[in-house]
């Protein structure tokens, strides 16, 4: 009993120096957990946290970081903007198999994976999609392709007979202060004068999820992960439960940072096929010059289609509900990015 209670509040966050990972760490500390962080790069200091710097692609690096802990949170991934197929495969697929193997050897009881709602997205409308939707047969990019492989691996590893329980959390469009993808890329796009027009008619509803709600969903999942729990071996959408027109959300952020927001829409299919052509051109020119287009087919699809998800399963099985409403999350985010304000 002593061993179990001693391990009970000890956990490791793999990818804990990242945008979401650090919020999970902060939430765990608030809840009285003993927290270790494993990451390939240490990006912050906190005397309450034990840091392990290593590469999850090397299973031997993992062992010291997960020794004597009950729960591992795995939220490491290469940035979705990367186009390095091999990196995605090594980190998200092979690396995740390393984590499963290392957890089982170390006697870790719970593995909480940060997956993505995008694992069912193929660039066409999804309205109030449930977790029962099939995995994307034709993922739109390498990132999504390896997130599908990763989630399948983790859920299949759920093994009550080995006292090893797994769960996958599927957030979508995570935003908040310290984000490295959404707001910084949006501001760069605005500064390049590329947000004069919106893609599509601006009516498509999308889930954007304030980061504290995602961290909250991860802790709820860990707390409900135990023998005979209906949570084991399942995926859960975690959203703000407030789908919003994509360009309304973007305009709120842009105007909050004093950038002009798009007023006119361009035909979605025209921009999508233009983006696909540009992607092919960049591929052909790669041996001569590396060009990274802002509007990739995936981003155009995300900007021009409906994609919002039901979190009913998380509400029913984990008692999930967002702790920060969307409007408040947007205000906190704008405030957190004052340094990116338009001063012209």
Ligand X SMILES: NC(=O)C1=CN([C@@H]2O[C@H](COP(=O)(O)OP(=O)(O)OC[C@H]3O[C@@H](n4cnc5c(N)ncnc54)[C@H](O)[C@@H]3O)[C@@H](O)[C@H]2O)C=CC1
Ligand Y SMILES: CC(C)=CCC[C@@H](C)[C@H]1CC[C@H]2C3=C(CC[C@]12C)[C@@]1(C)CCC(=O)C[C@@H]1CC3
Q: Which residues are catalytically annotated?
A: 143
- Of 215 and 257, which has the nearer Cβ to ligand X? 215
Q: Is 217 in the site for ligand X (CB under 6 A)?
A: no
Residue with the shortest CB distance to ligand X: 18
Per the CB < 8 A criterion, the answer to whether 136 and 123 are in contact is no
Sorted by sequence, the CB contacts under 8 Å of residue 9 that are 6+ apart come out as 32, 33, 34, 70
Q: Is 330 in the site for ligand Y (CB under 6 A)?
A: no
Per the CB < 8 A criterion, the answer to whether 177 and 236 are in contact is no
Query: Alpha-carbon distance 237 to 131, whole Å?
Result: 7
Q: Answer with the entry of ligand Y, ligand X, none that 299 interacts with (C-beta below 5 to 8 A by kind).
A: ligand Y
How near is the Cβ of 323 to ligand Y at its closest, in Å? 21
Torsions phi, psi of 113, nearest 5?
Answer: -95, 135
Task: Candidates 238, 303, 318, 334: give the one binding ligand Y (CB under 6 A).
Answer: 303
Query: Alpha-carbon distance 304 to 123, whole Å?
Result: 9
Q: Is 42 in the site for ligand X (CB under 6 A)?
A: no
Spell out where 141-279 has E strands. Answer: 165-171, 174-175, 197-199, 205-206, 209-210, 235-238, 244-245, 264-266
Q: Is 261 in the site for ligand Y (CB under 6 A)?
A: no
Per the CB < 8 A criterion, the answer to whether 34 and 10 are in contact is yes
Q: Is 114 in the site for ligand X (CB under 6 A)?
A: yes
Q: Is 171 in the site for ligand X (CB under 6 A)?
A: yes
- Of 80 and 202, which has the nearer Cβ to ligand X? 80
Residue with the shortest CB distance to ligand Y: 116
Query: Alpha-carbon distance 12 to 27, whole Å?
Result: 13
- Residues within window 195-224 making contact with ligand Y, judged by CB under 6 A: none
Q: Is 182 in the site for ligand Y (CB under 6 A)?
A: yes
Residues near ligand Y, by CB under 6 A: 80, 116, 118, 172-173, 181-182, 185-186, 189, 294, 299, 302-303
């Amino acid at each position: 009993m002593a061993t179990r209670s001693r391990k009970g509040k000890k956990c490791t966050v793999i990818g804990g120096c990242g945008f979401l990972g650090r919020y999970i760490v902060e939430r765990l500390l608030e809840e009285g957990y003993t927290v270790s962080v494993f990451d390939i790069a240490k990006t912050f200091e906190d005397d309450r946290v034990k840091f392990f710097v290593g590469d999850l692609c090397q299973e031997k690096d993992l062992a010291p970081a997960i020794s004597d802990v009950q729960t591992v949170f795995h939220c490491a991934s290469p940035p979705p903007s990367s186009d390095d197929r091999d990196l995605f495969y090594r980190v998200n697929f092979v690396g995740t198999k390393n984590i499963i193997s290392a957890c089982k050897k170390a006697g870790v009881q719970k593995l909480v994976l940060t997956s993505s709602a995008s694992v069912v997205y193929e660039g066409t409308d999804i309205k109030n999609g449930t977790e029962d939707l099939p995995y994307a047969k034709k993922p739109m990019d390498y990132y999504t392709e390896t997130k599908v492989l990763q989630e399948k691996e983790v859920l299949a590893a759920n093994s009550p007979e080995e006292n090893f329980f797994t769960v996958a959390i599927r957030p979508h469009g995570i935003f908040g202060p310290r984000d490295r993808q959404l707001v910084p890329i949006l501001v760069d796009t605005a500064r390049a004068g590329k947000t004069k027009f919106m893609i599509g008619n601006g009516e498509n509803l999308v889930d954007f999820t304030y980061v504290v709600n995602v961290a909250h969903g991860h802790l709820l999942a860990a707390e409900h992960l135990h023998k005979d729990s209906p949570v084991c071996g399942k995926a859960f959408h975690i959203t703000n439960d407030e789908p919003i027109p994509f360009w309304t959300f973007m305009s709120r952020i842009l105007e909050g940072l004093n950038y002009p927001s798009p007023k006119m829409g361009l035909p979605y299919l025209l921009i999508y096929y233009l983006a696909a052509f540009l992607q092919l051109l960049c591929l052909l020119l790669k041996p001569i010059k590396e060009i990274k287009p802002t509007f990739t087919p995936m981003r155009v699809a995300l900007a021009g289609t409906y994609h919002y998800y039901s979190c009913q399963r998380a509400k029913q099985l984990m008692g999930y509900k967002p702790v920060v409403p969307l409007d408040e999350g947007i205000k906190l985010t704008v405030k957190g990015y004052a340094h990116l304000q338009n001063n012209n």
